[in-house]
Amino acid sequence: MPDQSKLFAGKKGVIMGVANERSLASGVASFLSAQGAELAFSHLPDKDGRDRNEKRVRQVTDGLNTKLVAPCDVSSNDDIVGFFNKVGEAFGSIDFFVHSVAFAPVEDIRCQTVAASRAGFLTAMDISVYSFIATARAASELMTNGGSMVTMTYFGAEKVLAGYNMMGVCKAALEASVRYIAHDLGPKNIRVNALSAGPVKTLAASAVGDFSSMLGMNAAIAPLGRNVTNDDVGRSTAMLLSDWASSVTGETLHVDCGYNIMGSPGHALERLGKK
């Protein structure tokens, strides 16, 4: 019998994008599990027979309320269909879906956007944007009683952040996709939102320019004077997925200690000890 005192008691859902314990998706998974949710996870297929990707995901998920861990290459329509068929077999129906997937070739992120290759652009848009469209479609078919979806974005979708480059273009397209999919799925009582987290030291962040400097500057400028944590992201994502946000759809929620509201350095000069 589910513990009805927990926010996600009796709820079932899918999380895609756990790479290791520092992933944003890991913070989301930990909070949802603690609140009673039953979870299914994907991992990149292991093509060399060494199961390294699966093992990394299981290091995060084994202590949670995990019902399924299965491979899925989001660049393959067949893989997506196969994965969600397994989810359907495990759960029947689902209540929520979290998409935390993005990728671009390193050489196409670290160069100027104007210098990015056509092949790199197509790969980045496919994995970072179309994967959400395709997986949202598959997930929606299992949301027979309505549900909620959240994908992960970043402020580089709205403003130029040096070093984010082509991924900012992808995130802008992702946020537009959220709005259109929210319109498409609204009649099915399915809500679709994006969460724009402040910088967190993840595996994906290692591809971005001088990330340590970005963390320091973000904390100095943000009104709260700090950076966000995986726990912050987990709690806020859970809020969007829960009935507490039952009338919220098509939105991008900024969870960045207020950084996005600033049009000047704010307290940064005094915090950095400058006059």
Residues forming the active site: 154, 164
- Please give the backbone phi and psi of residue 178, each rounded to the nearest 5 degrees, phi first: -55, -45
Rounded Cα distance between 174 and 136, Å, is 12
Tokens of 139: 């997930």
Rounded Cα distance between 167 and 116, Å, is 11
Rg (alpha carbons) of the chain, rounded to whole number = 18
Amino acid at 42: S
Burial (CB count within 10 angstroms: exposed 0-12, middle 13-18, buried 19+), residue 265? middle
* β pairing state of 66-71 and 38-43: parallel
Contact (Cβ atoms closer than 8 angstroms) between residue 108 and residue 166: yes
- Strand order, beta sheet including 147-153: 66-71, 38-43, 12-16, 96-99, 147-153, 190-197, 252-255
Rounded to whole angstroms, the maximal C-alpha distance in the chain is 62
In angstroms, the Cα distances linking 146 to 3, 36, 92, 189 are 22, 19, 13, 5
* DSSP state for residue 144 in the 8-state scheme: B
Q: Is residue 38 within a helix (H) or strand (E), and if so which, with residue range? A: strand 38-43
Rounded Cα distance between 236 and 106, Å, is 29
- Which residues, 6 or more positions from 161, have their beta carbon under 8 angstroms from its beta carbon? 155, 168, 214
